[in-house]
Chains A and B, each alone.
Chain A
Amino acid sequence: MTSAINLVFSNSKYLLLSTVIFSSMLVGLLILSEYVFINPYVVSHIPSGTEFGFVLIVVISALSALVLPMNIFRINTLKKSKQKMGGGVFGSVVGAAAGACSCGQIGFAVISTFGSVGATVTAFLTNYEIPIRMIAVGILAVTYFTTVKSLKTECAFDPDL
């Protein structure tokens, strides 16, 4: 497992990509979920009872930053199919969407544009925010282990590497 991580992230390009994914997802989700505010002042705030939601955001951001560059490495370096990339992207999108549609601007825009259908979707994403994020973590974890397994197998049998 460690060797697969070393293999990918020894390349500074993938390390940089991972850092960008982690920081942008973390900051974006913390702002959308109102753990961080930037206006009128930059301030962070974790109200009591919301700690688990905060931890899930950190985990989703970290797993996305791990899984997405590894899959891009597989596609670029080993010229493998993009099929397994889907799990990582899906997990990241699901994890992000769960927090995005609440009473915030995105939820307001979705409901204003799509009416009752938008309201139903945002209500679902808001009501089941924590379970959806846990599912996203599960998807990303499974994708991570299958990617590591693939990298081990594919690299071991590739005579050029």
Chain B
Amino acid sequence: MNKLGIIMGVIVIVIIAGVAASLSVSPSETVNLDMGRTHGTISTAMGSPILGDPLAPITIVEFGDYQCEMCYRWFHTSKPQIVENYIETGKANLVFIDLAFLGRDSSKAAQATYCAEDQEQYWAFHDMLYNSQEHVDNGWANSERLKAFAFSLELDMELFDSCLDSGKYSKRVDYNIQQAKKHDVNSTPTFIVVGNNQEKQISGAQPFSVFKQILDTMV
């Protein structure tokens, strides 16, 4: 009887410990993805959160790599004008899909943005990466630096570190790369503008005037 009591006690303790462990995972680590999210023919379910009004009539899907110099160029030249004239006015929104191919740190940088998304800081982290870009694979986007970026954004470092170190989002990034390849995207940045039952592709860090011309025909 005594022996049985001990066994039962151990089982109860294990069950309680298991339940406690599962409850100790913060809700912010829960992946809350809309798996059915598509824009035109593109599955954006695993991409970034939507920047701007989700109900905007036009969506700009950007395929990019955080180590790509041309993406950096577009981020600093054309994007601010697009944000000001189309995204902030509710005419368009933007989704970023990773085509992380340039170097060994590209995928890790992309994964880190989703770890930041767990704490609702995706776009802040995204912007920080494009504001901090240096040469490909020179260490600016290695794990230590990514954690330093997270620290400077005042993220919960325990959550962020465990997310990044575990490779929690590596498959999400891989899925995005496959989406890019499925749509014949073979350079970064590439944009597919979806709206008005049309999809128009723009390859490269093209000036604002090109986007304006295309967006205005779709509004």
Query: What residues of chain A have their CB less than 8 Å away from a CB belonging to chain B?
Result: 34, 37, 39-41, 43, 45, 47-48, 50, 102-105, 107-109, 111-112, 116, 119, 122-123, 126-127
Q: How far is the CA of A41 from the CA of B216 in the complex (A)?
A: 15
The answer, among B101, B103, B135, B200, for a CB contact under 8 Å with A108, is: B101
Pick from B65, B70, B213 the residue with the most CB of A within 10 Å: B70
User: Which chain B residues in 130-159 approach chain A with CB under 8 Å?
Assistant: 135-138
Residue contact B205 to A127, C-beta cutoff 8 Å: no
Residue contact B214 to A119, C-beta cutoff 8 Å: no
Q: A104-B204, A105-B187 are in contact. List 18 more A-B contacts (CB 8 A).
A: A37-B203, A43-B206, A45-B207, A102-B69, A102-B70, A103-B65, A103-B70, A103-B188, A105-B186, A107-B102, A108-B188, A109-B186, A119-B101, A119-B103, A119-B104, A119-B137, A122-B136, A126-B102
User: Which chain B residues in 95-147 approach chain A with CB under 8 Å?
Assistant: 101-104, 135-138
B172 in the interface (beta carbon within 8 A) = no
B178 in the interface (beta carbon within 8 A) = no
Q: How far is the CA of A103 from the CA of B72 in the complex (A)?
A: 11
Chain B contact-residue range equals 20 to 34
When distances are taken between beta carbons in the complex, the residues of chain A under 8 Å from B103 are: 119, 123
B210 in the interface (beta carbon within 8 A) = yes
Residue contact A43 to B77, C-beta cutoff 8 Å: no
The answer, among A40, A104, A105, for a CB contact under 8 Å with B214, is: A40
When distances are taken between beta carbons in the complex, the residues of chain A under 8 Å from B70 are: 34, 102-104
Q: How far is the CA of A37 from the CA of B214 in the complex (A)?
A: 15
29 intermolecular pairs with C-beta atoms under 8 Å apart? A37-B206, A39-B203, A40-B214, A41-B210, A43-B210, A47-B73, A47-B77, A48-B77, A50-B73, A102-B69, A102-B70, A103-B65, A103-B68, A103-B69, A103-B187, A103-B189, A104-B70, A104-B204, A105-B187, A107-B187, A111-B102, A116-B104, A119-B104, A122-B102, A123-B102, A123-B135, A123-B136, A127-B136, A127-B138
